[in-house]
Amino acid sequence: MAEQAPLAVFTGSPLLYVLIPLLPFLGFLINGLLNRRLSGTVAGGISSLAVLGSFLLSLMHFVQFTGTPYTVHLFDWISVGSLHIPFDYQIDQLSLIMLLLVTGVGFLIHVYSIGYMHHDENVGKFFAFLNLFVFSMLLLVMGANYVILFIGWEGVGLCSYLLIGFWNKHTAFNNAAKKAFIINRIGDLGFLLGIFLIYQTFDSVQYGEVFQKAAAGQFGPYTVAIVTVITLLLFVGAMGKSAQLPLYTWLPDAMAGPTPVSALIHAATMVTAGIYMVLRSNILYTLSPDTLNVVAWIGGLTALFAATIGLAQNDIKKVLAYSTVSQLGYMFLALGVMGYTSSLFHVLTHAFFKALMFLGAGSVIHAMSNEQDIRNMGGLRKALPITFLTFLIGCLAIAGIPPFSGFFSKDEILTHAFEHNKILYGIGLLTAFLTAFYMFRLLFLTFFGEFRGTEEQKHHLHESPATMTLPLIVLAILAAVGGFMNAPLVLGKGYLADFLAPLFAYSKQTNPEAFGAEIDHATEYMLIGLSVAAGVLGIVFAYVQYVSRRVRPADDASQRGFLENLVYHKYYVDELYNTLFVKPSMFLSRGLHDFVEKRVVDAGVNGVGRGVFGGSKLLGSLQTGRVETYLLLMVIGIVVVLALNFMKF
């Protein structure tokens, strides 16, 4: 296997590959340039068609794919000395699946947006940004080297910035957008340094070469220990983009953007870029058990941490946001315990059910005239039957109730965790319970009980138009049956695992035993039972609390116990960061300017000037204007000169 040739190069015309990202880009250009001259429906239609075109092309490549990865060369981008960064695409199992996911879910969300953004005055701009996002995301997953990946990586960050701050009249939204961009940039710095180190170690940034050399143990001037540094640096990037501890705080704030954006960018696709990147580099991560440990623990802790915050949130989108952070933590947990396939599996199922739930939430918000607080909702299932049903499917899926998709992927992750580390398994199980609880809390508070909003809102309640409900239905079907892509180990390996297996060939070759001995069926049934039990238990608790006992979340101002208060205020992490990083930076900025710049640097320069001035004044004072003084000085001068002369100086 080590002699496997570097990836085959596609020799035909690259047009059909170029078009995949190019179509959304054209959509971006058309919508961007004709901004206000197109009606909302036309603008939405153009961009949806562009994404649909990419989806169909991706599907075509997927069908034609023979199982041998290959690269498509477009042009040489940067080339300096031995550093060559070509603009290449790589087509393999991973990129194809991600392509289908991004364009498929992306298309549905585009269609949904036509209805959702109907009333907005800047709808053309919205679709332009959305298309730009799809373009960047496609570059991200298609790139054949780390730098192209980085292009997409930053590109999606930019789109996220633009779309979070889409309603730019509100300072809070703009701040959220800026925060997202900046925190992502912190991660990007780690990523960038990782790329530099990769180049120094492997003398290339192309996936094919890097992975081949890594598997063959050629670490340039370094030993295998360098891989730990590389992977940790890359993981910092993933922490930023995929909202893991400690860089997760931007994601809940990012809910300021329009809801389809939250669904597409902040649930289904962009935030999974970190997972994509780790999967892509799986051989490097496999070579470094230490990093894997870090990844697993950070993932597990994030999952639990975000889930506890989710318990006490009252904003429908914030709950979903924390749930996303939590589920992303799950995926990293899976990566950390080397359940690579199950992680990607969860990426897919999560994309289905979380996009579904966000769009459902959008439908609710749409019906409630932009109300997002679940304390003011309730009993909506009669007014919004389709939204309710699809949302229910989403909740069942995320709670891990069989046979919905989330059950399969979550169970697989928990099984892997169980094999590796019982504590992490415990954390995962607890998170599963909490997830079921807060998701059904959300469901019950929103759709059950009495309506608690204003009369006006009640009057306005309506089911959303077909452009919005159709995507919901499609996503609901996917969320319901998507799990069968990769049925659990008991029933033999699933389709997905077989399909993806070549991707992990290097990893398997370097560390075969880590891919897990088969565990016996009894244990496996027990694990399935436990995870289902956790989900069911969570639902039951939520039902008792919010349906039977009709508990309503307290108002913002009401008194809370210590723990409850801590959770309600999200552990004060934002405040902590503010005190630790933002304020000192601001202080430093002012201090440097007012003190160092003015009093030291500039004062130094001005000091030289003043010194010259002072010196000239000092010497100038000898020029009294009195002839006597001049003469006296002259005589003294002559005497001195003569004296020196006589003394033979």
Q: Which residues bind other proteins (CB under 8 A)?
A: 32, 35-36, 75-81, 83, 147, 150-151, 154-155, 158, 161, 165, 168-171, 174-175, 178, 181-182, 185-186, 188-189, 192-193, 196-197, 199-200, 585-586, 588-590, 592-593, 596-597, 600-602, 604-606, 609, 620, 623-628, 631-632, 635
Give the nearer residue to other proteins in terms of CB position, either 13 or 623: 623
Q: How far is the CB of 26 from other proteins (least distance, A)?
A: 15
**Closer CB to other proteins, 200 or 293, in the complex:** 200
Torsions phi, psi of 631, nearest 5?
-65, -45
CB of 627 to other proteins, least distance (A): 4
| CB-nearer residue toward other proteins: 233 or 359 | 233
C-beta closer to other proteins: residue 560 or 610: 610
Nearest distance from residue 640's CB to other proteins, in Å?
15
Contacts of 424 (CB under 8 A, 6+ apart): 296, 297, 300, 333, 336, 337, 417
Question: Minimal distance in Å, beta carbon 78 to other proteins?
Answer: 6
How far apart, in whole angstroms, are the C-alpha atoms of residue 619 and residue 635?
A: 18
Question: Nearer to other proteins by C-beta: 138 or 429?
Answer: 138
Three-state SS across 478-512?
HHHHHHHHHCCHHHCCCHHHHHHHHHHHHHHHHCH
**Min CB(539)–other proteins separation in Å:** 43
CB contact at 8 A, 296 and 421:
yes
Nearer to other proteins, 66 or 623 (CB): 623
Tokens of 273: 């870029």
CB of residue 293 to other proteins, shortest distance in Å: 23
Least Cβ distance, residue 245 to other proteins (angstroms): 19
Asked if the bond preceding 246 is cis, omega within 30° of 0, the reply is yes
Q: Contact at 8 Å (CB) between 219 and 283?
A: no
Buried b (16+ CB within 10 A) or exposed e, 372-400: bbbbebbbbbebbebbbbbbbbbbbbbbb
Element housing 300 (H / E): helix 289-310
Intra-chain end-to-end CA distance of the chain, in Å: 89
- Report the alpha-carbon distance of residue 130 to residue 31 in Å, rounded: 10
Pairing of strands 70-80, 8-10: parallel
Write down the least CB distance from residue 192 to other proteins, Å: 6
How many whole angstroms separate alpha carbon 647 and alpha carbon 642? 8
Q: How far is the CB of 379 from other proteins (least distance, A)?
A: 36
Q: How far is the CB of 207 from other proteins (least distance, A)?
A: 17
Name the residue with tokens 């989710």. 310
* Choice between 188 and 419, CB closer to other proteins: 188
- Beta-carbon contacts of 504 under 8 Å, excluding residues fewer than 6 positions away, are 282, 340, 341, 515
Alpha carbon distance 288, 201 (integer Å): 15
Query: Toward other proteins, which CB reaches closer, 30 or 532?
Result: 30
Q: With respect to other proteins, which residue has the nearer C-beta, 16 or 158?
A: 158
Q: Closest CB to other proteins among 493 and 593?
A: 593
Q: How far is the CB of 75 from other proteins (least distance, A)?
A: 8
Instruction: Return d(Cα 216, Cα 224) in angstroms, integer.
Output: 11
CB of 602 to other proteins, least distance (A): 4
Nearest to 489 by CA among 347, 345, 348: 345
Instruction: Kindly state the smallest distance separating residue 101's Cβ from other proteins, in Å.
Output: 22
Closer CB to other proteins, residue 41 or residue 589? 589
Q: Which is nearer to other proteins, 627 or 647 (CB)?
A: 627
Please tell me the distance from the alpha carbon of residue 62 to that of residue 59, in angstroms, as a whole number: 5
DSSP sequence for 55-102? HHHHHHHHHH--S--EEEEEEEEEEETTEEEEEEEEESHHHHHHHHHH
Pull the structure tokens for residue 605: 């320069």
Which lies closer to other proteins via its Cβ, residue 564 or residue 594?
594
Structure token digits, residue 216: 């063959």
Query: Rounded CA gap, 627 and 9, in Å?
Result: 95
Question: CB burial class (10 A; 0-12, 13-18, 19+) of residue 42?
Answer: middle
